[in-house]
């Protein structure tokens, strides 16, 4: 079996463009739930949002690096974990937070703010934490990723649709109301279908190597939830807000992760398998956690 650090997945440039477009649609559908007033309201009481951002962009990357140091995985696997820990929260976190009985409005706002912040923070976290681990540092040096190019990719794909969705909801609320549910359902369906098709094209490879990353991804995801819960608890947030921060930290935008992997790392095997399995596992774990949380009403 070939070295996982040397394998490149089959993913055409046209497929990458399509995935970019799908994620833009997904982000636009999320933004239809937001208005500029929501941001002003959060500005008046920013503690829950700032706690969530800190958990997402400081606590999770640090926990990820700690896990990498302890386990010492192969270079591409380590960099895959670091990259997943560096991207913003995934949009499905809003749905899962709602199912868990948490603060859905806070979850949507965290997704929006984290996505905007990701333009600067995601490239920094990938470069910073990845360079601290010797094997992954070699990959970063050999590829010479351009943080500015990553920022442009994130901005065009996620932040621009976010702004357009907020503008539509603020200026044409009735149209946004009619579009919201169909857009959200359709975008998630298309996204899931695309990931399934992308995996199908590399299914033999995925099955051949997934056992290298499965336990690590499960442990990494558990650390993310635990980090989110601990951060929110230490910050003194209510149970209602704490559920949103916990889930937002544990649900990562693995679709964005795949785009960065194929766009900047050439579809490097270990990274791609980590992101792909994360995309499957965090939905399973998130729904299971939401089911458990929903049994106990959250105090506001």
Q: Are 277 and 210 in contact (CB under 8 A)?
A: yes
Percent residues over pLDDT 90 in the chain: 30
Give the pLDDT confidence score for residue 265 in this predicted structure: 81
Quick one: average pLDDT of 11-24? 68
Pick from 22, 21, 17: which is nearest to 189 by CA? 22
CA distance 113 to 242: 17
Q: Where are the beta strands (DSSP E) in 210-283?
A: none
Say yes or no to pLDDT of 239 above 80. Answer: yes
Lowest mean pLDDT among 54-68, 80-94, 142-156, 286-300: 142-156
Pick from 68, 116, 123, 115: which is nearest to 89 by CA? 115
Position 1 confidence tier, pLDDT thresholds 50, 70, 90: very low
Lowest mean pLDDT among 43-47, 52-56, 85-89: 43-47
CA distance 274 to 289: 21
Quick one: average pLDDT of 251-256? 85
Pick from 271, 277, 199, 275: which is nearest to 4 by CA? 271
Phi, psi of 268 (to 5 degrees): -55, 130
Q: Are 279 and 195 in contact (CB under 8 A)?
A: yes
Say yes or no to pLDDT of 8 above 70. Answer: no
DSSP for 115-129? HHHHHHHHHHHHHHH
Quick one: average pLDDT of 71-81? 91
Position 234 confidence tier, pLDDT thresholds 50, 70, 90: very high
Quick one: average pLDDT of 261-272? 78
The more confident residue out of 98 and 225 is 225
Give the pLDDT confidence score for residue 217 in this predicted structure: 93
Q: What pTM was estimated for this model as a whole?
A: 0.83
Exposed, middle or buried, 99 (CB in 10 Å: 0-12/13-18/19+)? middle
Which domains does the chain show, CATH number per domain?
Answer: 13-294 (1.20.1530.20)
Say yes or no to pLDDT of 9 above 60. Answer: no
């Amino acid at each position: 079996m070939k070295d996982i650090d040397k394998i490149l997945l089959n993913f055409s440039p046209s497929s990458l463009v399509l995935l970019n477009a799908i994620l833009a649609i997904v982000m636009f559908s999320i933004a239809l739930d937001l208005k500029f007033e929501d941001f002003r309201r959060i500005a008046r009481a920013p503690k829950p949002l700032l706690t969530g951002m800190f958990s997402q962009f400081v606590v999770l990357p640090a926990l990820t690096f700690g896990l990498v140091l302890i386990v010492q995985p192969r270079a591409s696997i380590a960099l895959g974990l670091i990259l997943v820990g560096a991207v913003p929260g995934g949009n499905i976190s809003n749905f899962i937070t709602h199912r868990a009985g948490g603060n859905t409005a806070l979850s949507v706002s965290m997704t929006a703010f984290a996505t905007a912040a990701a333009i600067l923070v995601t490239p920094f976290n990938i470069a910073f934490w990845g360079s601290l681990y010797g094997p992954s540092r070699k990959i970063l040096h050999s590829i010479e990723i351009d943080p500015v190019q990553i920022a442009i990719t994130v901005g065009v794909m996620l932040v621009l649709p976010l702004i357009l969705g907020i503008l539509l909801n603020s200026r044409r609320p009735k149209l946004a109301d009619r579009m919201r549910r169909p857009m959200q359902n359709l975008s998630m369906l298309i996204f899931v279908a695309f990931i399934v098709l992308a995996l199908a094209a590399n299914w033999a490879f995925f099955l051949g190597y997934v056992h290298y990353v499965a336990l690590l991804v499960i442990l990494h995801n558990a650390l993310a939830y635990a980090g989110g819960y601990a951060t929110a608890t230490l910050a003194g947030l209510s149970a209602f807000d704490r559920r949103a921060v916990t889930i937002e930290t544990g649900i990562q935008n693995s679709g964005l992760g795949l785009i960065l992997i194929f766009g900047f790392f050439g579809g490097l095997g270990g990274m791609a398998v980590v992101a792909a399995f994360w995309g499957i596992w965090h939905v399973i774990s998130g729904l299971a956690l939401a089911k458990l949380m929903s049994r106990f009403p959250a105090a506001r």
